[in-house]
């Protein structure tokens, strides 16, 4: 996948007179927008690679290697790395590039507790504002989840799931809530299969989404918010139980804590 700047002027500026201040300023603006577009495209690409687990925790991201692979200079890559680091998706190591982060079990619990608070608030704010068209969109996402719940490749299931929750946050009308939720989901996104294993199975998740939507259709704000909170709380509570059990074993055996990957592996094996 090559991410390259267009050779055509981005903002449509035509020929400019040499030495003109205005022309020089327009060139600077054009280059600034072009560079912004590039780093955003690099960021979107890498974020998707991490969320889809094509770049797994521990993967090293080299500016030089990515520059060659994606066909862009190192500047936009450096900008994209900074954004990914601010979202907790990578850790930047001076002079050694970046590495895709692996959340500890405790960090994943913390993230889900924040998500629970955000999404229950989003539902409370959104339900009184929902239109017929909004309900149709939410229902469509749940139907898409249901249709793909039995697939071996659950990527479309996860995409519809994320879209459902993201739409509720968007419809809350609170832009800051929506912004914080997007950042949080970017951090959690790389652990989708692990959190699903903690939840149980895709069909159960579909049922929980339908219950949230049913309460919202009835205008029962508190019930819908309660169901949304309970839905998000399931993997968090199960993971906390694993942490407690592991801590007990660690104290008996003198071993250290394990990370979220090991916790979820235990759940899958059970």
- For residues 100 and 187, what is the distance between their CA atoms, to the nearest angstrom? 11
Q: Are 63 and 92 in contact (CB under 8 A)?
A: no
For residue 220, pLDDT over 50 is answered with yes
> Would you identify the CATH topology of the domain 105-269?
1.20.120
pLDDT recorded at residue 18: 42
Average pLDDT over residues 144-161: 90
Cβ-proximal residues to 45 (8 Å cutoff; 6+ apart), any chain: 1, 3, 70
Give this prediction's pTM: 0.68
For residue 192, pLDDT over 70 is answered with no
Q: Which two tokens stand for residue 133?
A: 């068209």
- Domain 21-100 indexed as CATH 1.10.10.10: yes
pLDDT digits (tens, 9 = 90+) for 24-58: 544 443 454 455 588 899 998 998 888 777 888 88
pLDDT recorded at residue 106: 85
Domain ranges of the chain: 21-100, 105-269
- For residues 28 and 15, what is the distance between their CA atoms, to the nearest angstrom? 14
Going by pLDDT thresholds of 50, 70 and 90, the confidence category of residue 101 is: confident
Going by pLDDT thresholds of 50, 70 and 90, the confidence category of residue 151 is: confident
């Amino acid at each position: 996948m090559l991410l390259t700047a267009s050779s055509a002027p981005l903002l449509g500026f035509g020929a400019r007179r040499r030495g003109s201040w205005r022309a020089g300023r327009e060139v600077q603006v054009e280059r600034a927008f072009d560079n912004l577009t590039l780093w955003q495209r690099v960021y979107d690409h890498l974020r998707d690679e991490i969320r889809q687990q094509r770049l797994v925790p521990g993967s090293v991201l080299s500016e030089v290697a990515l520059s060659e692979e994606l066909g862009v200079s190192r500047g936009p890559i450096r900008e994209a790395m900074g954004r990914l680091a601010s979202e907790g998706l990578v850790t930047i190591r001076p002079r050694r590039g970046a590495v895709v982060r692996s959340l500890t079990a405790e960090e994943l619990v913390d993230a889900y507790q924040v998500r629970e608070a955000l999404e229950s608030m989003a539902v409370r704010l959104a339900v009184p504002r929902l239109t017929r068209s909004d309900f149709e969109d939410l229902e469509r996402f749940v139907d898409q989840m249901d249709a793909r719940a039995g697939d071996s490749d659950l990527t479309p299931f996860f995409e519809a799931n994320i879209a459902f929750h993201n739409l509720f946050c968007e419809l809350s009308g609170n832009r800051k809530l929506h912004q914080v939720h997007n950042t949080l989901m970017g951090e959690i996104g790389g652990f989708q299969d692990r959190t699903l294993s903690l939840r149980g199975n895709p069909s159960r998740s579909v049922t929980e989404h339908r219950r949230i939507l049913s309460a919202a259709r009835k205008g029962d704000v508190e019930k819908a918010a309660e169901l949304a909170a309970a839905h998000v709380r399931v993997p968090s509570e199960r993971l906390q139980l694993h942490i407690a059990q592991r801590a007990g074993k660690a104290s008996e055996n003198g071993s250290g804590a394990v990370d979220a990957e090991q916790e979820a592996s235990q759940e899958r094996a059970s």
